[in-house]
Amino acid sequence: MNIIADTKALVTERIEQAFAAAKADGVFSVDALPDFVVEQPNDKSHGDFATNIAMQLARPAKMNPRVIAQGLVERIDTSAPIDRVELAGPGFINFILKEDYLMPVLAAVQAEDTRYGASNVGQGRRVQVEFVSANPTGLLHMGNARGGALGDVLAAVLNMAGYRADKEYYINDTGNQVRLLGASVEARYFELLGRADEYPLPEDGYQGADIKETAQHLLDKEGEAYAQMDREDRLEKMTVFALNEKVEGIRRGLEAFGVTYDKWFSEKSLHESGAVQAVVDTLRDRGYVYEKDGAQWLRCTDYGAEKDEVLVRANGIPTYFAADIAYHKDKFDRGYEDLVNIWGADHHGHVARLKGALTALGYPGDRLTVILMQLVRLYRDGELVRMSKRAGEFVTLEELMEEVGREAARFFFSMRSPDSPLDFDLTLAKKQSSDNPVYYVQYAHARICSLLSVAGEKVRPAAEIDTGLLTHPAERALLEAIASWPEKVALAAQELAPYHLAYYAKDLANAFHTFYNGCKVLTDDAELQAARLVLADCARITLRNVLLLLGVSAPERM
């Protein structure tokens, strides 16, 4: 049940009926009903819903908006669930609903349980969410961690909202960075053999401690056999070994972070299947490719990009851009209707040209949405954390989880819009106090569980309690918070914005704590206690559902 959306639709219908009646009565003369907003005001003194329709009508009707509003107010049907309608300010119309209009939510929460909050907003549209997709040449860092949390939560939200969302990881297992990986492992391998001068680390090679570990694992497994091989054969085998180890390490690291994928897609497979060359050929046949300095260029400026881009280098090797076009074409060919990519902000220049290339191929480039993430900065005790203990370059996902735990990390990464830089306070994330948002929310759930346990009685069905007893402002505020959950899920899905869930979790926890502190639940009044236990239990169910979508546990004790 989404009682907020249902009631909003009913209020909108009543407004439209009043508009038709006022127009027929000659209150104003306009050709058509303009777009208008029906929303829930932040200030409850402005009613449960409010509309700006009178202001929207003022210009076409050439009338004072308050006069228009008065004409509408007089004609609005105020039968249930509407209690009364008021004219306010320059012409706003406020709707005050009957006290009991939200009460059916309690029964709905009990009945829907883990599915409370679900909807069919997505109408079964197939969506693919691709995220992290880090080069398998090192350890996962904070940007990967933020992308992992956002992508995982977003896919869960989309599925809750009636989309069919799959999660995918694009393995960059070809190209220069992979060749450098093999050469870097080779250098560390010979270094372990005491022969570092024979194959020094490439100038732009990978210097992380994890590369040394990979070389050690190779030496432990194969001994000195690789040192006797032809170099080309050795590099190929070392590259395959390193790639497999790195990809498996990424998989394990993300799984430890609570992130799993429906598919791991190999970039190399696109080249081997001929898909990359096929895309280049098609774009050429359509007149979008030209040659310059021996390279093949795509006319990106034809569809709004800032400059043209190389598809195939002068040496005949396709660029990463060419493979990326083929990859996204493949996504559409697999039946996905919407594509969502989560990238670092440094990829912003790639967005327009990729969308344009897809459009040039005859695919709906506008159905690709790219979420660009800003940087993560870590702080400890107010000081910026600069270096990794292990890699010497950055703080890894593994180190972050060791310090603050998976759940705090996921919650903190979900609290901000990705287009904003994130200052991650390690000290705060470890605090067991209400200052720590994840602790605050989890504690609210544990507190409810403790309350229900102490009550020692089974929570009754909402249909059997006297909901009219729930009249305290804190009770109503908690009920409104619970009722708004389906709207928050739908909003997060439609805006591709998981941070709405983290904000909501804190608001719901706050509403429960306020209710608990202001309303004595365990009381001598058996009927009032039963009603408040139902309300508390519905808050528990809703909080649990929020936490589960965020990939965070809902503890019963803390």
Does the structure show a pLDDT above 80 at 490?
yes
Does the structure show a pLDDT above 60 at 398?
yes
Pure H helices in 320-460: 320-333, 348-360, 397-404, 406-414, 426-430, 437-455
Average pLDDT for 288-294 = 95
Does the structure show a pLDDT above 60 at 81?
yes
Q: Which of 545, 309, 289 is nearest to 441 (CA)?
A: 545
Structure tokens at 209: 């401690």
- Residue the block writes with tokens 């299947």: 273
pLDDT of residue 387: 59
> CA 146 to CA 201: how far, in whole Å?
31
Average pLDDT for 215-234 = 94
Which own/partner pairs from 7-12 qualify as long-range (CB within 8 Å, at least 24 positions apart)?
7/48, 7/49, 7/81, 7/97, 7/101, 8/38, 8/40, 8/49, 10/81, 11/38, 11/49, 11/51, 11/82, 11/95, 12/38
pLDDT of residue 1: 81
pLDDT of residue 391: 45
Average pLDDT for 218-237 = 94
Does the structure show a pLDDT above 90 at 558?
no
Domains parsed from the chain with CATH numbers: 3-97 (3.30.1360.70), 126-172+260-373 (3.40.50.620), 176-256 (no CATH), 434-550 (1.10.730.10)
Across 403-423, b (16+ Cβ under 10 Å) vs e yields: bbebbbbbbbbbbbebeeebe
Please enumerate in sequence order all residues whose Cβ is within 8 A of that of 546, keeping only pairs 6 or more positions apart, or say none: 117, 441, 485, 501, 504, 505, 508
Does the structure show a pLDDT above 50 at 266?
yes
Please enumerate in sequence order all residues whose Cβ is within 8 A of that of 543, keeping only pairs 6 or more positions apart, or say none: 441, 444, 445, 448, 505, 508, 509, 512, 554
> CA 464 to CA 527: how far, in whole Å?
10
Does the structure show a pLDDT above 60 at 273?
yes
Share the mean pLDDT of the chain. Answer: 94
> CA 235 to CA 183: how far, in whole Å?
7
